[in-house]
Amino acid sequence: FRAIADEEWAWRSKELPSRGARATTLPDVSAPTQARRLVYWTQVQQRLNAISAADLSPQERTNYAVYKHQIDNFVDDIRYRLYEMPFNADSSFWSSIASMANGNFASVSDYERYLSQLRETPRYFDQQIDNMRAGIARGFVQPREALAGRDVSITAVTDPTDNLKNPFYAPFETMTGISDAEKQRLRAQAVQVIEQQVVPAHRTLLSFYRDEYLLAARDTLGANRLPDGEGFYQSQIRQYTSINLTPDEIHQIGRSEVARIRAEMETVMRSTGWTGTFNEFTRFLKTDPQFVYDKPEHLLWHGAWVVKKVDGKMSQFFGLQPRDTFSVSAVPANIAPFYTAGRGNCSLNTYDLPSRPRYNIPALTVHECNPGHAWHSKMRKELPALPEWRLQANISAFGEGWGLYTEKLGVEMGVYEDAYEDFGRLNYEMWRAARLVIDTGLHSQDWTRAQAIAFLSDNTALSDHEIRTEIDRYITWPGQALAYKLGEIEIVRLRRYAETELGDDFDIRAFHDKLIGLLVATIPSMTAEMEGFVEEQKTASSR
């Protein structure tokens, strides 16, 4: 197994250079290359299937599960030609390129690698456009209804008349530890590359997007309406949740969770003294000025305060602690209008402050910062015991399930200071439960966009802007939204199981250390590891 995995990882590292920290090129995404990769990964998949996972040690079984999950996803994505639809309402290949400007630049070679990659932009964009034209030809395209205004992140690059104000020039504004002569040379090269390669490539993309893609976008919404859509949607469910539940099964789990959380929200609502209806209360939360920040930095200050408050409680809940720290930052302005409320590098969205109410920020910060994603990311970098292909893996149900679990853990950590903030926590949990209903409704039951918006609006206090942004994300990114709640449900079940089985011997620090020490796992392998941990603890306590 290790021989197969290590051989493929070495091949993959060369094949997909942008995944490496020292890459100087952008990957080849052309159709012939995709076909060649499919042949290779299918062969790897066949070799893996010939191995009996039961013959491996428990840790190696988890390695096998994580690795095989990656290979299965590669095979599925190319078979369904997902590369012909390389963007959604949340993420895109062009915004991924733009995000390179947010990397760490500490040496001349860092800047030279960055410039080398930028020179590849025209070729890379042309290949993506060719792929999208092939998608148009067979009807594998995004829904028109969810694409309005999504070219704003392209125009952020094409509109500045001054190259020094271009987002791609940002790393060259402050160049610490670089000699004046090198600064001058690198800055001159940056201006030339932006003017001659980056901006023209984005202008070509913008013309294609507006003049071809939007005109060819489909009128339907669901993934089930794409070519071989039902099979494609099931593959995305497996990819993001690491389990193989059907859309109907997930829809019913979502309905049950929505009902349970709604009852909790009603109880917290009454504790505030509110005597009106639930929808009247959520409208009050959305519109009352007391919940709106005066300035963007006030939102960031609140997030930073939550981070430090949690810092003081971490040792009570975790033995393992990363050495490195992280900062609280704002989501970049060029992507903020259509971006989610935050991201796992502890970036919080300050665009349209009335849509970012105070009562949501504690739960958001715990999820995105610590002990959620940013903290988890540091742990991934500092625990060296796992192979690189596992450390670089991303299984959404584990990572996002952990993030959502930490919001609930925030209650025990004393994060939420009043009923409104606790309602905000439940608001966020309801948001993730509603996704199970909405995602499957859209992609397997022919829900309309208005139907999805109404369901999220009726059950949460999310702002109207955020609701529309989220629904468009679910429409254009089938399956991803299912990961959060399905992962969290299993983590909560495992904790209750451990508490019941171990009784007074249950140690929350040991439980969390074992769970987060996995770093990444499929849901079945996480379950096996944690149930094995409980049995080990029971044996140790009986001695």
Residue 184 has pLDDT above 50, yes or no: yes
CA dist., res. 151 & res. 335, Å (int): 10
CA dist., res. 84 & res. 154, Å (int): 19
CA angle 342, 261, 259 (to 5 degrees): 125
CA dist., res. 83 & res. 95, Å (int): 16
CA dist., res. 195 & res. 119, Å (int): 11
Q: What is the pLDDT of residue 20?
A: 43
- E strand map for 86-198: none
Angle (deg, nearest 10), helices 361-368 and 373-382:
10
Q: Which two tokens stand for residue 77?
A: 């994505």
Q: What is the pLDDT of residue 381?
A: 84
State pLDDT tens for residues 299-344.
999 999 999 999 999 999 999 888 888 888 998 887 788 777 787 7
Residue 21 has pLDDT above 60, yes or no: no
Spatial contact of 487 and 397, defined as CB atoms under 8 Å apart: yes
Place of tokens 């930028």: 118
State pLDDT tens for residues 74-127.
999 999 999 999 999 888 999 888 888 888 898 999 999 999 999 999 999 999
- 3-state secondary structure (DSSP) of residue 30: coil
Residue 412 has pLDDT above 80, yes or no: yes
The DSSP line for 342-360 is EETTTEE--SSGGGS-GGG
| Average pLDDT for 377-397 | 88
pLDDT band at 380 (very low <50, low <70, confident <90, very high): confident
| Average pLDDT for 204-214 | 97
Q: What is the pLDDT of residue 448?
A: 97
Q: What is the pLDDT of residue 55?
A: 95
Residue 365 has pLDDT above 60, yes or no: yes
Quote the distance between the C-alpha of residue 347 and its chain's center: 13
**% of the chain beyond a pLDDT of 70:** 99
Spatial contact of 299 and 361, defined as CB atoms under 8 Å apart: yes
State pLDDT tens for residues 112-151.
999 999 999 999 999 999 999 999 999 999 999 999 888 9
Neighbours of 535 (CB within 10 A): 11
Q: What is the pLDDT of residue 18?
A: 59
| Average pLDDT for 411-415 | 96
Mean pLDDT over the full length of the chain = 94
CA dihedral 518, 524, 527, 529 (to 10 degrees): -50
| Average pLDDT for 447-467 | 94
The DSSP line for 198-240 is IHHHHHHHHHHIIIIIHHH-BS---GGGSTTHHHHHHHHHHHH
Residue 371: is the preceding peptide bond cis (ω within 30°)?
A: yes
| Average pLDDT for 6-34 | 85
CA dihedral 379, 380, 383, 385 (to 10 degrees): 160
H or E stretch at 469 = helix 464-476
**% of the chain beyond a pLDDT of 90:** 82
| Average pLDDT for 238-255 | 97
CA dist., res. 413 & res. 409, Å (int): 6
